[in-house]
Amino acid sequence: MNNKKKKNMLPALAMAGPVSVWMILFVTIPMLYIIYISFMSRGVFGDVVYKFSTESYKTILNPTYFKVILKSLKAAGITTILCLLLGYPLAYIIAHKPKDTAAKLITLIMIPFWTNSLMRLNSWLLLFQTSGPINNLLVGTGIVKEPITFIYTDGLVLIGLITNMLPFAVLPLYSTIEKLDKSLIEASADLGASAATTFMRVTLPITFPGIFSAIILVFIPSLGIYTVTDMLGGGKILYIGNIIKNQFGSIRNWPLGAALSVMLIVITMLLIFIYTRFAKIEDMEVV
């Protein structure tokens, strides 16, 4: 190995050390501890009994929990699909704007995250309450005869999830579309392909890494987030995130909460594994 290659490797090696320590301390060890706790037992008073048991994993297959898991997967799936359907055209439009305009539009997308999430969720409750602006508009225009119950429903929870997760779909999609080689689009048009054919056979396949990156960044948080369902569901609508929070909190069943967390970890790792089959992991950019 010549001196030039050695010099190029030095910054990478210097960076690898701190990154490895960070990953071990804040990712690997907590993850292994969660897996370890998931195979323990719950004591009479809610403490963890360090005795091997698979009871928590059996409990997950209980119809009550299993229905909640399926419901959570369905909600996360719908959220992901709708975020892609809304986010792709938006990212496509922004990517074809001048750099300065695109930067401003991206900033507009991120502005809601400059406010407290609880304030945003409370605003949805105020908008959709029985005497709120939405119901007043519907009744006033004669679309409905009496107010509709929006709050504490799956529909409002879904709206909350979509509005919270949409930027996480737009950013990776924008990053991928913005890098798209325009000459390929021009070549497709020169060969007589229609705009729809060019999109389906050129644009869509090339931007697939960004699409799958958006799926990961939206689906995984949507599956585990509990603040949205707590606020907009009013404690009446349960998803995996709510159950995990309750198990570690008021119910004090850490092994079951850990088992459910392990399930989320497995889903995350599976999605990342599938992603690496189609693209490089470093391509998962958001800006």
Per-residue CA distances from 237 to 68, 72, 76, 282 (Å): 9, 10, 14, 37
Q: Summarize the chain as % helix, strand, coil (round to 5).
A: 75, 0, 25
DSSP state, 153? S
Per-residue model confidence (pLDDT) at position 16: 57
Distance in angstroms (rounded) separating the CA atoms of residues 168 and 219? 10
Is the pTM higher than 0.95? The answer reads no
What is the model's pLDDT at position 192? 85
SS3 track for 82-126: HHHHHHHHHHHHHHCCCHHHHHHHHHHHHHHHHCCHHHHHHHHHH
Closest CA to 276 of 202, 213, 207, 219: 213
Whether the CB-CB separation of 60 and 66 falls below 8 Å is answered with yes
Please provide residue 2's backbone torsions phi and psi, each rounded to the nearest 5 degrees: -75, 170
Per-residue pLDDT, 51: 92
Q: Are the C-beta atoms of 180 and 101 separated by less than 8 Å?
A: no
Which residue, 109, 61, 71, is CA-closest to 233?
A: 71
- Residue 280 to residue 193: CA distance in whole angstroms: 30
Mean pLDDT by 10 residues, the chain (287 residues): 50 60 82 94 89 92 89 94 96 92 91 83 91 92 90 92 93 91 84 86 88 92 90 86 91 93 90 75 51
- Give the C-alpha separation, 120 to 131, whole Å: 19
Longest dimension (CA), the chain: 81
Q: What is the rounded CA–CA span in Å between residue 166 and residue 86?
A: 8
pLDDT at residue number 46: 86
User: What per-residue confidence (pLDDT) applies to 183?
Assistant: 86
Residue 42 forms beta bridges with which residues? 48
Q: What 8-state DSSP symbol labels residue 47?
A: P
Q: Give pLDDT, residue 126.
A: 92
